[in-house]
Chain A
């Protein structure tokens, strides 16, 4: 690695072979994302998040997180239109093992997001290339 290890000024130019190195960088980044979504996600906190916990303030909530009474922001919350999606709530319906279910849903989500996002950005990219770049 030719990166500076001390707190040296950051430079924004790549010395050599940017195209191929970018491909490897993208693949490496994707691998990290797949590990995070596929494995590390199983160790994420299951507590309600900041918005959810504020949304139930003023209401009584049972063990399943269902609102049982009172007055709070989340009182009229309704199920998502996608509640019947096979990937609903970051699991895969029909897979009993929760680690496998969450992990596979995470992997699918990363690949889907990369495909949709990368595809749209590729289509939307400007075709105007710097003059010195040889295709």
Chain B
């Protein structure tokens, strides 16, 4: 078995649980499409394609986190910051679907579970934090970078715990030597480290885009108000 990405293989989760998560993923993605369509315009559509392609590329870059253990970016926080939560979840899903169908990374029967963990849970948790942090932190590159970093770490750990829940519901092996609690602890531990790596990548990427083309950063759109006031000369 090749060491592949952080994606669940076929046969790890049983049929019913895989099917339930398949339905959850389909319903959620349909909702993301209907909400995302309002955000997608002539400028955001190509940007979203780029975000998906960029996440695919960076997911190939496994970095070491412990001796003999590696990890790679999942991308939910970065996507949510750049193209918003709805389109962001769709970007990560496109990556997961291409990986499963063409690159044999993650089982096709496990696609619903993988989409749920990485695209839905990852992006949703990240966006909740982004919405909160961008209100309290200064609207500077430092504030944006900290937001990307914190949202990434928490989202990656949340995605890993979503997998543990899936395994608790429908894992195919009765673990003899390890309890689910121990698995949850192991997954949380490695994924905090993976999240730190992801957070650094996401922070550098989002701050770079924000410095070059702040108008292409979805999360900064809501911050347009003070800028308009400044442009009208009402406030300095």
Residue numbers of A with Cβ under 8 A of B are 1, 3-4, 7-14, 18-19, 21-23, 25-26, 29-30, 32-34, 36-37, 40-41, 44-55, 57-58, 64-67, 70-83, 85, 87-90, 105-106, 109-122, 124-126, 128-129
Number of inter-chain CB pairs below 8 Å: 318
Cα(A22)–Cα(B53), bound, Å:
16
Q: Is B50 engaged at the interface, CB distance under 8 Å to the other chain?
A: yes
Say whether B10 contacts A81, CB under 8 Å: yes
Tell which of B2, B47, B63, B217 touches A22, judged by Cβ atoms closer than 8 Å.
B47
**A73 close to B171 (CB less than 8 A):** yes
Q: B164 CB to closest chain A CB, in angstroms?
A: 9
Supposing A54-B190, A77-B11, A112-B102 touch, asked if A125 and B42 sit within 8 A by C-beta, the answer is yes
Q: In the complex, are the beta carbons of A30 and B50 less than 8 A apart? A: yes
Cα distance, A70 to B65, chains bound together (Å): 25
B91 near A117 with CB under 8 A, answer: yes
Could you list which residues of chain B lie within 8 angstroms of chain A, going by C-beta atoms?
Answer: 1-12, 33, 36-58, 60-65, 68-72, 87, 90-91, 94-95, 97-109, 138-142, 144, 160, 163, 167, 171-178, 182-183, 186-187, 190-191, 193-194, 210-217, 220-221, 223-224, 227, 231
Chain A contact surface mostly:
helix
Q: A65–B1 contact, CB under 8 A? A: yes
- Flag if B221 contacts A58 (CB, 8 Å): no
CA of A87 to CA of B56, assembled, Å: 14
Chain A residue numbers with a CB within 8 Å of B138 are 9
Report yes or no: A114 in contact with B211, Cβ–Cβ below 8 A.
Answer: no
A47 partner residues in chain B, CB cutoff 8 A: 3, 62, 64, 68-70
Determine if A117 and B53 form an interchain contact, defined as CB atoms under 8 angstroms apart.
Answer: yes
Q: Which residue of B lies closest to A48 (CB)?
A: B3
A33-B54 contact, Cβ under 8 Å, with A22-B43, A80-B100: yes
